Chain A
Amino acid sequence: MATKSLKARQDELAQTNKQLEILDGGIFADGELPYFKDKISEIGHFPLRPKKLEILQINVGYMCNQVCEHCHVDAGPDRKEIMTKETMYQCLEIIKTTGAHTLDLTGGAPEMNPNFRWFVEEASKAGIKDFIVRSNLTIIRANKKYFDLPEFFKKHNVHVISSMPHYTRGKTDKQRGDGVFDKSIKALQELNAVGYGMPDSNLRLDLVYNPSGAFLPGDQMAMEKDFKKALLEDFNIQFHNLFAITNLPISRFLDYLIASENYEDYMYALVEAYNPAAVANVMCTNTISISWDGWLYDCDFNQMLGLKVASKIKHIKDYNEDILNDRNIIISQHCYGCTAGAGSSCQGTVA
């Protein structure tokens, strides 16, 4: 497992233009595989346009306690990009007036932002219907200052969505680092203990599964069944839903694909699994992604590729939902990741 981000390693792939060059070149430039633009043109979806805004996804910083092999954020302890309180104030103004029903906090490990708790407290007052925090689980066990997070989440009725690559130790630790599995299990048990994930509980606990390698996720329902059975039998853990998410070929996952000589096969697999029915519901059509420094993006992946929205409103300081919603979504070949098979989004499958 990597111990430093691509950025800290000064890896060429830390540059977004280098990643975009790869995604636009090679097998796509040769005509071996079709450009995403051409595929969605066939079904009249180009240019891709937003529908009603439903989800505000705010990335409060790239700092994380883990350095996962597949991370599309290139997050890690060495990343210093953290949302300031001033930017959080600007976000709160938007949260109060947005038409979106879901607020989705992500990172990095969002809990590592020093103003995280204050922000959650303030944001929870805005009356958002579904308030999600994406927690990597191990953060809850990383330091005693985080031990009370389950109670804190409960107090603010936060919907917890956590990553769990597999229900076996080997696969989890290989992707996320030694000891991650045991810590994650302990954290899940603690979330269960305060009521999260229990069958009739309103305290939502969902898990995110993403493949630990160069392959696509299997059927979400079947995976959920396997996860539920194994986690209950082995660890007495319960949760609500499993979201199967496809790894997109950007950042550290792209680096892994290239280094392991899987890039071309993976892109073939994505294109082969292209599902026109998933296109209409890809998450960029109902989401706005806000970066730690307040810039606006079509999705978290475009954020990591530095592709700001194609709108005259590019930053939260000028935020206007109507103008912003009247835009064309920026696409490239990484978008095949969201249209493969049953489709993929931060909320799981879309088709």
Chain B
Amino acid sequence: MANNYYDAADLRKFGKITEWSEELGNKFFEYYGKVFEEGALSAREKSLIALAVAHVVKCPYCIDAYTKDGLQKGITKEEMMEAVHAGAAIESGATLVHGVQMMNKYDKLSM
């Protein structure tokens, strides 16, 4: 076993998770495939959402996968970076909006 937690080559083995739980694994991949099909949102839009989420959940496998997926779909690097910023803005916004809770608590405890 590798002496590190992440190995880029492990992404290729993702499908193997079905080996230890076939039904759930298959259901997951079927769902996953369906989600990224062309629908009310285009496959291109979904790819950018996935890229943004990949960064927010800090998943190196997903970042590799959706950078490549974006390239395949002709998405430009400017579009990719804007998607990452959209994710980052929500993430930092989520932190900052808790500032209101802090302010509320501060005010309540203060004379």
Contacts and interface: CB of A to CB of B under 8 A. Distances in A.
| A, B bound | yes
B74 interface: yes
B16 interface: no
A204 interface: no
B49 interface: no
A222 interface: yes
Interface stretch (A143-151, A213-221, A309-317): A213-221
Interface in B45-97: 68, 71-74, 76-77
Interface residues of A, number: 19
A218 B76 contact: no
B72 A216 contact: yes
B75 to A, nearest CB: 9
Which residue, of B43, B72, B73, B74, has the highest number of chain A Cβ atoms within 10 A? B74
Interface in A246-288: 268, 272
A326 interface: no
**Chain B binding site: helix, strand, loop or mixed by DSSP?**
helix
A166 interface: yes
Interface in A188-230: 209, 211, 213, 215-219, 222-223, 226-227
A90 interface: no
Contacts of A268: 12
B42 interface: yes
A3 interface: no
Contacts of B73: 218-219, 222-223
A171 interface: yes
B12 A215 contact: no
Contacts of A170: 76-77
* Nearest 4 Cβ contacts at the A-B interface: A218-B73, A218-B72, A215-B71, A215-B72
22 contacts: A166-B74, A167-B74, A168-B76, A170-B76, A209-B74, A211-B71, A215-B71, A215-B72, A216-B72, A217-B72, A218-B72, A218-B74, A219-B43, A222-B38, A222-B42, A222-B73, A223-B73, A223-B74, A226-B44, A226-B74, A227-B74, A268-B12
